[in-house]
Structure 1
Amino acid sequence: MTSAPSTATSAVADVLAPVTGSIEQVVARVARREIAWGDWARLVFATIARTLLFSIIGALLWTALPTVFGWTSTTVMSNSMAPRFFAGDVIVSMPASKADLVPGRVILVDDPDHAGRLRMHRLERVEDGQYFTKGDANPEADSSPVTLKHIHGIAVLRAPLVAVPIVWTAEHRWMLDAAAAIGVVSLVILAGTDRHLRRRRDENDVPISRPRRRNRGRTARLAVGVAALLTTSGMLVAGQAHSAFAASGANTGNSLAAQAAGNDWCSGASGTAGALDSPTFAWRFNEVSGTTAADTSGNARTGTLSSTANVTRTAASCTAGGGYITLNGSGSVNPTSSTTTATPYVYSLEAWINAPTTSTGGRILGFGNSQTGTSGNYDRHIYMNTSGQIVFGTYNGGYKTINSTASLKDGAWHHIVATMDGSQLGLTGTGMKLYVDGALVASNATYLTSEATTGFWRVGADNISGWPGTPTVGGFVGSIDDAAVYSTALTAAQVTTHKNAGR
């Protein structure tokens, strides 16, 4: 007994008929040796291009469509959950009941440290109605727990790296965005290069020419494709969130709300507001005592003062401003965790400094391969030379430095920012820039690479031997406040905002 084909089977056959028919025609023409090797190449490249385009669109739709049912689609903005999630992944979270929230699950929550942001981390424990989380790649648990009402759901679906351009946009990596756009346009062009091979033919193997209909169909398909990409991209941008290390399964904005300009201690504020523009870490040095430097970025990257003899604290007050540290040339603040940082190629360094007229200068903030003591590989640092000028330096087979011209050994507070937008993935960045008190004082667009090494960001003393104008004692002699490092090159407007926000 036989049965008629189902409606679904017939529908699939109708959809595939033009494709299979065109392939049969191509095979027939190959048999008659009417297709050149160049046409074969077009056919192969066009097929690969269409496969990639459909895969990208399919992955975006796979993560965007669940939002129709009340689920949340978010973009990972950093690697705090690596290797489970990476920056550029899109994660779908579904609503969860209290019974579903068990340790080990990855959950999406309102960021308790930064209003208006989301955080996606693994649930570590539940105590007295409070939910404690931790990023898989973070050395320490998140500083603040959340309650049930702040939990949006648990992560259930992942589309790897499909939203990487969104991460690049948030980090102002416009050249990478442009390269991605060029890549998509190239795929669209390649996808149509075998069009003449797929045209319908009559019984005499003569192409049937219907230019107007074909052009309308091609335009319609292009419009649908562009609309689908823009729609899904817009849905993903709207659902980004931060993780407590760099970002997690849902991470949109890369900027934090600005703190009030000026001295927040005069108004009775606590002085613990998060730093601007999502730093990798931010040490404000507002602790009253002890050797711990709290990380106000929310990334749990605390620092440890090398000793209270070489690093002294000044408590915050309305007259003094926020708390700060004073170093004698031998003191430093080192990362508490022994986990190394991957080689940074795009970054910014920031600090407020106050050097007395008797200061010998020294290293303010930089990167080295040793957690404490003296590093063997060291660059990506800002230091004050013996003349009181600020120097920003990287190493690539030689010392690459830019510096300010005026001496800052004047007993006043100054805001320092150094940015590096280096070469990556074969693309060229904008190079090195140095800002003092919000103004660009030096730059070099040809210095684009730094030494390829993993290591640690440290404040104060470390090796700067051999660098131009360094003092005998390598560590900074003077006061430092609000030291921070970023994984992006801050713009001039951002630098101005940071300077105006004060200490």
Structure 2
Amino acid sequence: MPNRTATRPCVGDAPRLLLAVAARTVLWSVLLVAVWAALPAAFGWQVTTVASDSMAPGIRAGDVVAAMPVDAEAVTPGRVLLVDDPDHEERLRLHRLERIEQDGALRLRGDANAEADRTPVAPTAVHGVGVLRFPGIGLPTVWIRSGAWTSVALAAAVAAVLAVLARADRDIVAGRPCRRCGTPRWDLHTRALTPVGVVRPRSTSLPIVAALAATTIVLSTMAAAGFSGTTNSASSLRSQTFGCFHDPAPGAVLAWDFADKGDRRVTDSSGTGADGRFIGDGTRTIGSCADNPHASFGTTGSAETWAVTDTAVSAPNAFTIEVWFRTTNTDGGRLFGFGSDRNAASTYRDRHLYIDSAGRLRFGVEGSGTQFKFTLGSADVVTDDVWHHAVGTFQARSMTLWLDGVQQGARSDAVTLRQYDGYWRAGRQTLAGWPDGAGYGFTGDVDTVRVYDDVLDASTIAAHHAAGR
């Protein structure tokens, strides 16, 4: 008769069991992601490992990208293309198509590069359009190619540790008595005698059940991520579809191009992590990446919409804020600025650009101590359904407002500003107490929002205006 009794659970069995299941889950997850990344090749897609950060922040070195073969008409500006590298034989290049030259050649550019690629690419050199990204799964390949043997050794050591931990419950599964205290365990292998006519369900090992459940969850997660088209780039186990082109923003601490189509996310392309999210009915334009998507507020009948950063920062004492906007609404509203809260109304709000009750552009900051509100206004009305470029700069005793590359005014009486932690936001914000403050919700379009932690000079502002949004 097999032994199926135990006086008491062996001390330490539960942690050992959980540790082994967790280690096996990690190992199986990595293996399954690797298989999942290679699967598109079975359907004729090109799978490649990214070797550089030229497409950062969306695509990093070590990511595996699957490119789907497409017809020539599908190769449009804004698409991420996998092509034969025109400058290096037997290499591939994964860059975004910036434009099609008059002779039909393709001019590409990496998202992290300030200039387009030097050499154009022939349409026949295109292998496909990047569709899926598998973050980090190709890092070992990149390390080996670059000779980063320390990283390779560390990864191998981690894998070895996980392999050892995955077997930490082998005595429990085998039903052996505890080696330290001699306490017997359940015998999971010997079949118990069962009276004739009685059906006894077969026991199943808890680790096996847990591992199967974890594997099922991982497979379900990856399947949903691969085909939903709205996956989260923050998940290390999920693939990701590509958004539109993000313009480089040298020197900026916040750069919003509103190019994450089909999502509520607002990606910061400055590299400082100033990502945000749409609240309310804020939307982006519908169309191809070549249409230069932008944020549109209040177009669904409600002006109570805004986009706001996820993380609070300290209010700057020297800065430049820059935004392109277009509106026909004469009710005014806040374009972009700083506030103490992410909700509809902030306790403190300043360092902002807004449209006043007369339809003119204003730049305002709030002084410390008396909280006097310093503002500058434009000479012309800006509610004319034309894209305008607005810039406000501030440092101690120097405050300026620019509209379409032309300085609208300056003042030197603002020295120190109210200090508080808060969030940058575009769209809705209360203007109570501000000179000629009108409606709280801006109705119109906003694009190419930038924040700098220094003051841009006149030539730089003029160059930004000339470059367009």
Using structure 2 for the length normalisation, give the TM-score. 0.48
Using structure 1 for the length normalisation, give the TM-score. 0.45
